[in-house]
């Protein structure tokens, strides 16, 4: 009986070892498995080795790379990649919407970080060119933190990525705690509107946008959440009718709002009448990178002034 039990134990151990070895092999080729990551466009991306030459076709991705200490591995960025300052000296591969694909290929990158939206068609073309692409298109603060961790893993900088992620999460948790305290004390969530761009009508951020997510995390109600679009046109008549209590407007390379209080008819909006119009650096709320926590903090601070 003892011999039988011993034989069974040995056989079990052998089977476990074989299974472990097989799990490290690709079933079709017998070669060691490569690392496969799911990006924000639900694409499975195979990374064969730690990338040494990286191109960023997104300002948000550029900020992540430099925050992870990977500036020396960045061999190309867009003309809009202006933060941090060191990014401005990197070779330019075109704009955010019209990158120079030939220049990207000529740079011989191991990895190209892209986003979604207007770049979806470009992604298909770059894939056909044999480039390894990873899409970062986070719709929320939480997913942004997840992306930072994932890029850290891909690039061999997991420890630094974890430090950044934990800092962002702890700062967001403090805001969450304060919002909860205010609700428990009877404070009502303020009704908020965010202006992206104005010309005849106003472009704003719908429920599918990271901006709307930040407003919610800060304890506000985005009046534009009625639409699920990321960004869409909102009529002035509707804005006056909805009458938000807080009015945020982005300012930067994409928009210069001027003096909102002087726009005809806007004095009927509660936020304008009560001096609750706040201009925000648009990069802090559009770029889903490490500075997104600063955007959340600014929104929270202004919302409860």
Question: Domain with 279 in it: what CATH number?
Answer: 3.40.50.1980
Q: Examine the domain organization and report whether 125 and 217 are in the same domain.
A: no
Q: What is the pLDDT of residues 157-208, one digit of tens each?
A: 999 999 999 999 999 999 999 999 999 999 999 999 999 988 888 999 999 9
Which residue, of 137, 164, 197, is where some domain finishes?
Answer: 137
Q: Is residue 146 part of a domain?
A: no
pLDDT at residue 253, as a whole number: 62
Element (H, E) at 279: strand 277-281
Q: What is the pLDDT of residue 117?
A: 74
The whole domain housing 54 covers 35-137
For residue 28, being part of any structural domain is answered with no
Please compute, for residue 70, the number of CA atoms within 13 A of its CA located in the half-sphere on the CB side.
32
pLDDT at 124: 85
Q: Could you tell me if 193 and 281 lie in one domain? A: yes
In a domain, 204, yes or no: yes
What pLDDT score does 34 carry? 61
In a domain, 12, yes or no: no
* Backbone torsion region of residue 265, taken as left when φ is above 0, otherwise alpha when ψ lies between -120 and 50, otherwise beta: left
φ, ψ for residue 32, nearest 5 deg: -60, 140
Residue 1 lies in a domain: no
Please report the pLDDT score of residue 32 as a whole number: 32
Domain-terminating residue out of 103, 118, 137: 137
Tell me if 194 is assigned to some domain: yes
Which stretches of the chain score pLDDT less than 70? Answer: 1-34, 253-255
Q: Are 204 and 236 in contact (CB under 8 A)?
A: no
pLDDT (0 to 100) of residue 60: 96
Specify if 205 maps to a domain: yes
For the chain, the domain total comes to 2
118, 195: one domain: no
Do 223 and 299 fall into the same domain? Answer: yes
| 117 and 223 part of one domain | no
In angstroms, the CA 136 to CA 282 distance is: 18
Domain assignment present for 169: no
Cα end-to-end span (Å), the chain: 79
């Amino acid at each position: 009986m003892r011999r039988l039990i011993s034989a069974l134990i040995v056989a079990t151990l052998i089977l476990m070892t074989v299974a472990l070895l097989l799990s490290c092999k690709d079933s079709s080729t017998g070669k060691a498995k490569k690392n496969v990551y799911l990006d924000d466009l639900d694409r499975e991306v195979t990374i064969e080795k730690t990338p040494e030459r990286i191109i960023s076709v997104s300002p948000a991705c550029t900020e992540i790379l430099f925050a992870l200490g990977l500036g020396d591995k960045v061999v190309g960025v867009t003309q809009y990649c202006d933060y941090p300052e060191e990014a401005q000296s990197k070779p330019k591969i075109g704009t955010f919407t019209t990158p120079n694909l030939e220049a990207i290929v000529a740079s011989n990158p191991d990895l190209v970080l892209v986003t979604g939206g207007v770049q979806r068609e470009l992604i298909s073309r770059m894939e056909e060119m044999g480039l390894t692409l990873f899409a970062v298109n986070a719709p929320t603060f939480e997913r942004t933190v997840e992306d930072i961790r994932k890029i850290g893993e891909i690039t061999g900088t997991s420890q630094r990525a974890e430090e950044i992620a934990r800092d962002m999460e702890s700062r967001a948790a403090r805001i969450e705690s304060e919002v909860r305290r205010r609700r428990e004390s009877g404070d009502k969530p303020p009704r908020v509107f965010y202006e992206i761009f104005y010309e005849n009508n106003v472009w704003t951020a719908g429920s599918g946008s990271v901006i709307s997510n930040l407003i919610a995390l800060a304890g506000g109600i985005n009046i534009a959440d009625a639409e699920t679009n990321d960004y869409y046109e909102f009529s002035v008549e509707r804005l006056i009718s909805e009458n938000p209590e807080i009015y945020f407007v982005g300012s930067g390379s994409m928009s210069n709002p001027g003096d909102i209080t002087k726009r005809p008819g806007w004095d009927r909006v509660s936020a304008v009448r009560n001096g609750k119009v706040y201009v925000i650096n648009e990069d802090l709320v559009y770029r889903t990178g490490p500075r997104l926590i600063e955007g959340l903090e600014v929104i929270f601070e202004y919302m409860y002034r």
